[in-house]
A and B are shown apart, each in its own frame.
Chain A
Amino acid sequence: MAVYVQKKPTTISEKLADETWRRKFLRNVLIPWIFIAPLLLLHIYVVTVPAVQGIYMSMTDWKGVGQNANFVGLENYRELFFEDETFGKALGNNIIWMAFFLTVPFVLALFSATMLSQIKRGGMIYRSILFIPYVLASVVTITIWKNLLNPQRGIGAAVDNILGLEKVFGIAYLGRTESALMSIAFIDNWHFWGFLMILFLAAMQAIPPVLYDAAKIDGANRWQEFRHVTLPGIRPVVLFMYMMVAIWSFLAFDYIFLSTQGGPGGASEVIATLLYKNAFFRFEAGYGAAMGVVISIFAGFIIMIFVTLRRRGWDI
């Protein structure tokens, strides 16, 4: 009796091991790949194939309509970097944009997350309210701020009114060459910084409180505490977001396109808006595709810097 019972597969693993090879193949190879296939194929079709086509397209003079596309090698790239002044200006604006976004929202988010991590009551309410601008659509955010920055009816005009001035603060921030780009960056940042704050706050809350107690016993002041406990604790998140924000700076489009379309006179033009206009308004598909490749090379370059630093043991 006992022998018979032993022979039947009794445990789960024994029962599973009892399957035939065919069923195992079906279960462990074929079905999993059938599960993966739809999303993978869709992704290849929508992203990877066009991305490869984009590289080829960037080496043609294709106009986006008609059949006649000539292979022109690196001509588009030569034109971009050595002839097209609007591109040079746009690239410069992207770098200004990056400098803004690698400082202003980070300082704001680090500061406010520190403030928020120290309070005991009301934290959740602040957290939610400060996060609200992040869930708004770009079209809405731009509408709000176009009104608030209006020279006659906006905040500036109200300040002038109070101070008894005329057209000192009530100026067309978005319509002036010298202030357009920074104004849009300000608006985008109004929407964005709360997101960064949430990430930093979550990282801060994961720091063991013991470390703060130890710092206090050692007589550390607020700044030292921040510098030697908080900052090292959230370093991985900060550095990762540094990389992401640097990449995003080269992709910026919505806020600029929606507020000024790159104007006035190219003052707020960035590569993405220039690309969009070239590809979809001026029918310079090949030229636009070349800009897309350039953006991707910048993004890849930023990733490479971070990967290299990480490999060298700089703990990111």
Chain B
Amino acid sequence: MTAIGKVSLQDTVLQRGHSRERSRLLVFNHTVLLLLTAFAVVPLLVLAFNSVKTNLEIGQNPLGPPVNIVAENFPNAWDKGNFATTMSNSIIYVVATIAAELVFGGLAAYALARKRPPGSDALMLYFLVASTIPLWMYIVPLFVQINSLKRLGVDARFLLIMVYVAGNAPLTIFLLRSYMIDLPGELEDAARVDGANEFQVLTRIVIPLTMPGFLTVGLVVGLGVWNEFLLALTFIHDPNQYPVTTSFYKFVDRFDRDWALTSAGAIIIIFPVMVLFLALQRQFINGLAEGGIKT
């Protein structure tokens, strides 16, 4: 009796102290988080503000909200920045890279996770070691190699996509394999008994069950390619083949003083990413977190 009384008394004391402490702490937590949110968002807000001001207004009011909203910056930037071409180039790079990565990565990961042919362990070790090779170790010889292929008449865009697919191969294999390895084998065996061949087992059974893995790889790889700068700068020299990043780099160089124009250009580049990010927040965040840990 006394023991029980003691415990419950202690409990209430603990809880009361606890909740008072808790609410004070949460005010502190929210204050800190709001300050950090401002740190993340204010630069973007300034960018958005400047994209709808005239240069005259930016000169007088470079940071605050716009007094008069003008929309002309966007069509101007779109034309002068050649966005019609570079946007579609970037979309080609992103879509083709994702498609090739998922097809070839899916096939390889399936073989490594479900079939484990002799040599699988050595191959996983190869990809593990290869994933640590920095781009800087091979960029110069790769440049020579890519140039000789270009001279043979191979499209530079195709070659850039090839480099993207290869560069993301270790990440793709690790991620997709980790999704596939957890599947129960009975489903596949059942399909085989029903006469399915290996390809059908992959497309009808394994892929539908590991869709989140494919979505994750697609988002991580796609975002990486959309934002990629260094490889595109190195391998694409025809302005008609530029992705948005390298073309924007030259654009900013050319219109250095024209903040209204460059701000609008920047908004055009981040717009598709922001839309996709807001629509798929959870997948984006979890996917990039997963990709970051596994590389």
Number of A-B contacts defined by CB within 8 Å: 281
Are the C-beta atoms of A136 and B118 separated by less than 8 Å? no
Interface-forming stretch among B56-64, B66-74, B150-158?
B56-64
Q: How far is the CA of A217 from the CA of B7 in the complex (A)?
A: 12
Contacts A46-B166, A118-B29, A216-B14; is A138 near B136 (CB within 8 Å)? no
CA distance A120 to B292 in the complex (A): 26
Task: Report whether B227 and A296 are in contact in the complex, using a CB–CB cutoff of 8 Å.
Answer: no
A128 near B285: Cβ-Cβ < 8 Å: yes
Q: Does A285 contact B (CB under 8 A)?
A: yes
Instruction: Say what secondary structure dominates the interface of chain A.
Output: helix
Interface residues of A in 19-63 (CB under 8 A from B): 27-29, 31-33, 35-36, 38-40, 42-43, 45-51, 53-54, 57
Q: Are A253 and B163 in contact (CB under 8 A)?
A: no
- The CA-CA distance from A116 to B259 in the complex, in Å, is 36
Q: Which of B26, B137, B277 is the one whose CB lies under 8 Å from A54?
A: B137
Indicate whether A289 reaches chain B with its CB closer than 8 angstroms: yes
Minimal Cβ-Cβ distance residue in B for A29: B117
Residue interface bits B42-60, CB-to-A below 8 A is 1, else 0? 0110110010000000110
B96 sits at the interface (CB 8 A): no
A153 to B138, CA, bound (A): 41
**How far, in Å, is A240 (CB) from chain B's closest CB?**
7
Question: By the criterion of a CB under 8 Å from any partner CB, how many residues of chain B are at the interface?
Answer: 98
**B166: which of A42, A155, A157, A222 is its contact (CB, 8 Å)?**
A42
With beta carbons under 8 angstroms apart, the residue of B136, B244, B284 that contacts A251 is: B136
Do A130 and B36 form a contact, CB below 8 Å, given A43-B130, A46-B163? yes
Closest to B165 in A: A42
- B84 at the binding interface (Cβ < 8 Å): no
B39 touches A140 (CB 8 A): no
* A98 in contact (CB, < 8 A): no
State whether the Cβ of A229 lies closer than 8 Å to any Cβ in chain B: no
B29, B134, B190: which has the most chain A beta carbons within 10 Å? B134
**Cα(A158)–Cα(B42), bound, Å:** 14
Q: Are A139 and B269 in contact (CB under 8 A)?
A: yes
In the complex, which residues of chain B have a beta carbon less than 8 angstroms from the beta carbon of A51?
Answer: 133, 137-138, 141
Interface flags for A7-20 (1: CB within 8 Å of B; 0: not) read 00000110110000
Say whether, besides A43-B169, A280-B234, A144 and B47 are in contact (CB < 8 Å): yes
A49→B281 CA distance, assembly (Å): 38
A133 at the interface (CB under 8 A from B): yes
CB of B110 within 8 Å of the partner chain:
yes
* Least Cβ–Cβ distance between B183 and chain A, in angstroms: 16
Q: Given A132-B277, A240-B293, A292-B136, is A35 in contact with B108 using a C-beta cutoff of 8 Å?
A: yes
B66 to chain A, nearest CB (A): 15
Q: Which residue of A lies closest to B60 (CB)?
A: A153
Interface flags, A186-216, vs B, CB<8A=1, else 0: 0000100011001100100000000000001
Residue of A nearest to B276 (CB): A135
List, in ascending order, chain A residues with CB within 8 A of B44's CB: 132-133, 144
In contact, A155 and B63 (Cβ under 8 angstroms): yes
Tally of contact residues, A, Cβ under 8 A: 99
**Does B245 lie within 8 Å of A139, measured CB to CB?**
yes
Tell me whether A246 is interfacial, beta carbon within 8 Å.
no
Report chain B residues within 8 Å CB of A102.
none
A280 vs B141: C-alpha distance when bound (angstroms):
12
What does the 1/0 interface line of B191-222 toward A look like (CB < 8 Å)?
Answer: 01100001000000000000000000000000
Contact B105 A39, beta carbon cutoff 8 Å: yes
Establish whether residues B229 and A138, one from each chain, have CB atoms under 8 Å apart when the complex forms.
yes
Which of A64, A122, A150, A292 is within 8 Å of B139, CB to CB?
A292
**In the complex, A240→B58 CA distance in Å?**
44
Query: Cβ of B91: which chain A residues have Cβ within 8 Å of it?
Result: none
A82 lies within 8 A of chain B by Cβ: no
Tell whether, in the assembled complex, residue A119 and residue B33 are in contact, meaning their CB atoms are under 8 Å apart: yes
Which partner residue on chain A sits nearest B244 by CB separation? A137
Chain B contacts to A: CB under 8 angstroms:
14, 18, 25-26, 28-30, 32-33, 36-37, 39-41, 43-44, 46-47, 50, 58-59, 62-63, 104-105, 107-108, 110-112, 115-119, 123, 127, 130, 132-145, 162-163, 165-167, 169-170, 172-173, 186, 189-190, 192-193, 198, 223, 226-227, 229-230, 234, 244-246, 248-249, 252, 259, 262-263, 266, 269-270, 273-274, 277-278, 281, 284-286, 288-289, 292-293, 295
Pairs A-B, 5 closest by C-beta atoms: A46-B166, A32-B111, A50-B138, A153-B62, A53-B141
**Can you list 21 pairs linking A and B with CB atoms under 8 Å apart?**
A32-B111, A39-B165, A43-B127, A45-B166, A46-B142, A111-B32, A115-B33, A119-B26, A126-B36, A128-B278, A135-B223, A135-B277, A143-B266, A147-B62, A190-B40, A198-B289, A247-B132, A254-B230, A285-B140, A299-B132, A300-B132
Given A50-B139, A137-B227, A271-B136, 13 other A-B residues pairs in contact with their CB atoms under 8 A: A31-B115, A35-B111, A36-B123, A39-B107, A50-B145, A53-B138, A129-B41, A132-B274, A134-B288, A139-B229, A139-B245, A216-B18, A279-B139
Measuring CB to CB, which residues of chain A are less than 8 angstroms from any residue of chain B?
Answer: 12-13, 15-16, 27-29, 31-33, 35-36, 38-40, 42-43, 45-51, 53-54, 57, 64, 108, 111-112, 115-116, 118-120, 122, 124, 126-140, 143-145, 147-148, 150, 153-155, 157-158, 190, 194-195, 198-199, 202, 216-217, 222, 237, 240, 244, 247, 250-251, 253-254, 257-258, 271-272, 275, 279-280, 285, 288-289, 291-293, 295-296, 299-300, 303
